[in-house]
Amino acid sequence: MSSAVSQTLRREIVRRRTFGIISHPDAGKTTLTEKLLLFGGAIQMAGTVKARKALRYATSDWMALERERGISVTTSVMKFAYGGCEVNLLDTPGHQDFSEDTYRVLTAVDSALLVIDAAKGVEAQTRKLMEVCRMRGTPIMTFINKMDRAGLPPLTLMAEIEAVLGVECAPLTWPVGMGSFFKGAFDLRTGGLRLFSPARGGKIQEALVSIRDLDDPRLDAYLGNQAEDLRTDIELLREAGNLFSLERYLAGEQTPVFFGSAVNNFGVRELLDAFIVLAPPPGPRPAASRLVFPDEPEFSGVVFKIQANMDKAHRDRMAFVRICSGRFVRGMKLRHHRAGRDLSVTNATIFMAQDRTGVEEAFAGDIIGIPSHGAIKIGDTFSEKEPLAFTGIPSFAPEHFRRVQLKNPLKSKQLHKGLEQLAEEGAVQLFRPLESNEYILGAVGLLQFEVIISRLAEEYAVDAAYEPVPIETARWIFSSDTGELASFKDNYRRDLALDAEKTLAYLAPSPWKLEAAQERYPNIRFLTTREIGECARPESAMA
Ligand code: G4P
């Protein structure tokens, strides 16, 4: 590669910012996404994201299920340009029932934005998602939303984030009042004060007042008796608060905090401006054989999500590929390593905020969609030549189980195909017991089961139902101690199954039985997460 080409590659990579928003449902993720796109110039009108969501929901029956319940299960990617950067925003399904998919989206990002409702503080869903970020050391920026409503005091919110999420907070803006007394936000870095005026809809407002310092008498003119409160707060923060450290943020140890009100467009610009400066560009990613750097000339990428029903007329499925290194150009021949075949990719898609368009060129950090007719699985690696296998795309041990019951026995072939494909897509986990021909489904959230029944009916014309099954928890089994493994298999055969990747799993009837098994077989690893593709490793316990 010529040095001019490698320079272009590097220039393109350092201006990429790929991130996901994490929040508990209702904290304001959709609103903030929309406002980021509005400030980023990617959409002209507020309401577009919500309207598009509504339109998408109308495209299929199982999506009608989402609409009925007022939740969002579909992940999308939105790309826009801002301040010289190319921003890839990965939307994550917020409902806890879809957390496995949400978790995987977090493996494709370089940083995350945490949205917290000022009135509710840290909520359950946020905790789970933060665990994934912490596991990966993902840098997190925090936006405390809904300051226009009465909420918890800012110091309490930060203390809660620190205690519950285990990450230090460093405020970069500080609110003046809240609820009906919300007057604006003070910028701790510049000493500017942004005054708040409610501005719903698309109007980009915000009066910025540059004050000399906190003793500036104009502060009293603007804020009345709240000026004194602000002075006290800032003094306290400067004495006892955490100073922002870029290094600690990038290491995932500290989160810079912003206060605002997404629905009122307040605090969003500061957030976006800071984001493009502070958030990391694509970094190196671990593959089984080595670390892969984004500015390596050869293309490589990994599939982190498969989405069906993007276009119902074509019954297509889209494999979402995070580019890990190099440059993608239309028509490029890529090696699909697991399948052992080459693919000329002429019809990849890039997801612009406004639309999906054919992609001519994309760089490390970008997400492209490759149409799939079933051959591509989550965790698959594509590259130009080198047989890489990216690691770190996890499967999570399911928490709920059902046995599938087929209503029309003549459809057993279709059922088999449907369940295998849906499992490959990551919509559900499929287990086949060693001792029977049953299909056991495992899910992280209950709603997934309903989605599967609807999709089996709609896409595979299979009428199926569920039966309860006495399984409470599952663990993947790994061991290099062949003797112990053989004995374990003999003794626990009735509760053993193979998942869709033929990895051995123990489907435990109760937590105490699991505990007993663990005590009895100390050299066996009972894993709650499994890396997709891990069964290919030599120590795995293929049955
Ligand atoms: P989600 O994607 O995280 O689930 O949340 P979403 O953006 O849909 O927001 C949830 C609710 O919170 C919405 O109200 C939204 O308008 C409101 N909201 C978002 N940001 C703010 C804010 O800064 N201040 C206040 N007061 N409310 C905010 P809704 O009634 O459910 O929907 P809508 O009728 O307003 O669209």
Q: For ligand 1, is residue 29 a contact (CB within 6 Å)? A: yes
Ligand 1, residue 32: give the atom nearest the CA.
Answer: 7
Q: What is the mean pLDDT of residues 220-225?
A: 91
Q: What is the pLDDT of residues 369-422, one digit of tens each?
A: 998 877 888 889 999 989 999 987 777 788 899 999 998 888 999 999 999 888
- Quick one: which atom of ligand 1 is closest to the CA of 34? 7
**Mean pLDDT of the 202-209 span:** 64
CATH class of 394-541: alpha beta
447-460 and 412-425 helices cross at what angle (nearest 10)?
130
**pLDDT at position 50, please?**
54
For residue 204, what pLDDT is reported?
58
Q: 94 in ligand 1 pocket by Cβ < 6 Å?
A: yes
For the segment 125-180, what is each residue's pLDDT rounded down to a tens digit?
788 788 888 888 999 999 999 999 999 999 999 999 999 889 999 999 999 999 99
Ligand 1 within 6 A of CB of 148: yes
Dist. CA 199 → ligand 1 center (Å): 14
- 23 C-beta closer than 6 A to ligand 1: yes
Which residues are within 8 A (CB) of 325 and not within 5 positions of it... i.e. 6 or more apart?
Answer: 285, 292, 293, 294, 295, 296, 298, 299, 300, 364
Q: Which residue has the higher pLDDT, 99 or 257?
A: 257
Mutational test site, ligand 1, from 29, 31, 147, max ligand atoms within 8 Å of CB: 31
10 Å Cβ neighbour count for 168? Answer: 15
pLDDT at residue number 515: 97
Structure tokens at 425: 């897509």
| Stretch (H or E) spanning 505 | strand 504-508
> Predicted confidence band at 3 (pLDDT cuts at 50, 70, 90)?
confident
pLDDT tens per residue, range 284-322: 999 999 999 999 999 999 999 887 765 555 556 789 999
Mark 259-272 as b/e (b = at least 16 C-beta within 10 Å): bbbbbbbbbbbbbb
Q: What ranges do the domains of the chain cover? A: 14-77+94-278, 285-383, 394-541
Per CATH, 14-77+94-278 and 394-541 having the same topology is answered no
Least confident residue range of 8-22, 48-62, 299-313, 376-390: 48-62
Span 201-220, average pLDDT: 76
Residue range 258-269: average pLDDT? 93
Position 430 scores a pLDDT of 95
The answer to whether residue 254 scores a pLDDT higher than 50 is yes
User: Rounded to the nearest whole angstrom, what is the distance from the C-alpha of residue 262 to the centroid of ligand 1?
Assistant: 8
pLDDT at 317: 78
CA of 397 to the centre of ligand 1 (A): 32
Q: For domain 285-383, which architecture applies?
A: 3-Layer(aba) Sandwich (3.40)
Residue 530 has what pLDDT? 79
How high is the pLDDT of residue 105?
87
How many Å lie between the centroid of ligand 1 and the Cα of residue 419? 36
Residue 117 CB–ligand 1 contact under 6 Å: no
pLDDT-derived band at 65, boundaries 50, 70, 90 = very low
Task: Using alpha carbons, select from 476, 481, 318 the residue that is nearest to residue 397.
Answer: 476
Nearest residue (CA) to ligand 1, atom 24: 146
Residue of minimum CA distance from atom 25 in ligand 1? 146
> Does residue 31's CB lie within 6 angstroms of at least one atom of ligand 1?
yes
For residues 111-125, give the mean pLDDT. 92
Q: What separation in Å is there between the alpha carbon of 120 and the centre of ligand 1? A: 13
pLDDT of 82: 94
> From ligand 1's centre to the CA of 49, what distance in Å?
13
Query: Ligand 1 centre and the CA of 197: distance in Å?
Result: 18
pLDDT of 108 over the 90 cut = yes
Instruction: Give 69's pLDDT tier (boundaries 50, 70, 90).
Output: very low
| pLDDT attached to residue 6 | 86
The answer to whether the CB of 76 is under 6 A from ligand 1 is no
Predicted confidence (pLDDT) at residue 521 exceeds the cutoff of 90: yes
Enter the CATH code of domain 14-77+94-278: 3.40.50.300
Model-wide pTM > 0.75: yes
From the CA of 146, how far away is ligand 1's center (Å)? Answer: 8
What is the per-residue pLDDT for 384? 94
**Cβ of 26 below 6 Å from ligand 1:** yes
Confidence of residue 34 (pLDDT cuts 50, 70, 90): confident
> How far is the CA of 10 from the CAs of 16, 84, 150, 323, 365, in angstroms?
10, 14, 46, 14, 12
Min mean pLDDT across 71-80, 181-190, 507-516 is at: 71-80
pLDDT in tens, 457-511: 988 899 999 999 999 999 999 999 999 999 999 999 999 999 988 899 999 999 9
Instruction: Give the pLDDT of residue 91.
Output: 76
What is the SS3 assignment for 446-501?
Answer: CHHHHHHHHHHHHHHCCCEEEECCCCCEEEEEECCCHHHHHHHHHHHHHHEEEECC
Among 96-105, 298-307, 353-362, 484-493, the range scoring the smallest mean pLDDT is 96-105
Tens of pLDDT, residues 435-459: 999 999 998 878 788 888 988 998 8
Angstrom distance (rounded) from CA 269 to CA 36: 8
- What token pair was written down for 265? 């467009």
Average of per-residue pLDDT values in the chain: 85
Nearest to 404 by CA among 457, 473, 477: 457
Task: Say what the pLDDT of residue 393 is.
Answer: 76
Name the residue of 30, 35, 263, 268 to mutate for ligand 1: max ligand atoms within 8 A of Cβ.
Answer: 263
